[in-house]
Amino acid sequence: MYKFTLLCLALTFGKISAPAQTFNQAELEAALTCIKTETSPLEIPLTRVEHFITLAVRSHGAGTAGILEIRTSADNRSWGNWQTLTDDPHVDLPATQRQFNMLFLPADSRYVQVRAIGLCADLGLRLFFYSPVDLPSENPVALDQPLGFRNCPCALPAYVNRAGWGGPPNQQPGCTPSYTTVTHLFVHHQAGVANPPYAAVVASIWNLHVNTNGWCDVGYQWLIAPDGTVYQGRSGGNNVVGAHATGLNGNTMAVCMLGNFQNVQPTQAALESLHALLAWKCCDSDIDPTGTSVHAGSGQTFNHISGHRDGAATLCPGDNMYARLPSVRTGTDSLYADPSGCDGIWPPANDNCAGARVLTSLENCSPESSTTNEALASGVAIPVCSGFSSGTALDVWFRFNATASHHQVTVTPTGALPDPLDPVVAVYDGTCGALELVACVDAPGGAGVATTLDLPGLTPGHDYSIRVFDYGNAQAADGRFDICVTHGAAVSTAEKYESAGMRIFPNPSTGKVRVELLETDPANGNIRVFSSAGQLVLEREVRAGVVDLDLTGRPAGLYVLEFQTGSGILREVLVLN
pLDDT at 64: 64
How many structural domains are present in the chain?
Answer: 4
Judgement on whether residues 272 and 192 belong to the same structural domain of the protein? yes
Judgement on whether residues 482 and 544 belong to the same structural domain of the protein? no
Is residue 146 domain-resident?
no
- Tens of pLDDT along the chain (577 residues)? 333 333 332 222 222 344 445 567 889 999 888 788 899 999 999 999 999 999 999 998 866 667 899 999 999 999 999 999 988 878 888 888 889 999 999 999 999 999 988 877 788 999 999 999 888 778 888 876 554 444 466 778 889 999 999 899 899 988 999 999 999 999 999 988 888 899 999 999 999 999 999 999 999 999 999 999 999 999 999 999 999 888 889 999 999 999 999 989 999 899 989 998 998 898 888 898 989 999 998 999 999 999 999 998 889 999 999 999 998 988 888 777 654 445 444 557 788 898 898 999 998 888 888 888 778 888 888 887 766 666 678 889 999 999 988 999 999 888 777 778 888 999 999 999 899 999 888 866 677 888 888 898 888 889 999 999 887 666 677 788 889 999 886 565 433 333 346 778 787 788 888 887 765 445 567 788 877 555 778 888 776 677 888 888 888 877 777 776 655 567 777 778 7
Cβ atoms of 488 and 404 closer than 8 Å: yes
Judgement on whether residues 487 and 506 belong to the same structural domain of the protein? no
Q: Is the peptide bond before 317 cis (omega within 30 degrees of 0)?
A: yes
Is residue 139 domain-resident?
no
What CATH number did the domain enclosing 506 receive?
2.60.40.1930
Is residue 433 domain-resident?
yes
Judgement on whether residues 480 and 518 belong to the same structural domain of the protein? no
Is residue 150 domain-resident?
no
Angle, vertex CA 436, rays to CA 431 and CA 437, nearest 5: 130
Judgement on whether residues 468 and 571 belong to the same structural domain of the protein? no
pLDDT at 430: 92
Judgement on whether residues 72 and 213 belong to the same structural domain of the protein? no
List of residues 6+ apart from 150 with CB closer than 8 A: 238, 284
Judgement on whether residues 310 and 455 belong to the same structural domain of the protein? no
Residue-number span of the structural domain to which 307 is assigned: 162-337
Cβ atoms of 98 and 86 closer than 8 Å: no
DSSP SS3 for 395: strand
Cβ atoms of 25 and 44 closer than 8 Å: no
User: How many helices (H) does the chain have, and how many strands (E)?
Assistant: 4, 33
How many angstroms separate the CA atoms of 146 and 352, rounded? Answer: 32
pLDDT at 451: 86
pLDDT at 388: 61
Is residue 94 domain-resident?
yes
pLDDT at 375: 81
What letter does residue 208 receive in the DSSP assignment? I
pTM: 0.59
Judgement on whether residues 484 and 508 belong to the same structural domain of the protein? no
How many angstroms separate the CA atoms of 138 and 401, rounded? Answer: 50
Judgement on whether residues 329 and 182 belong to the same structural domain of the protein? yes
What CATH number did the domain enclosing 429 receive?
2.60.120.380
CA–centroid distance for 408 within its chain: 29
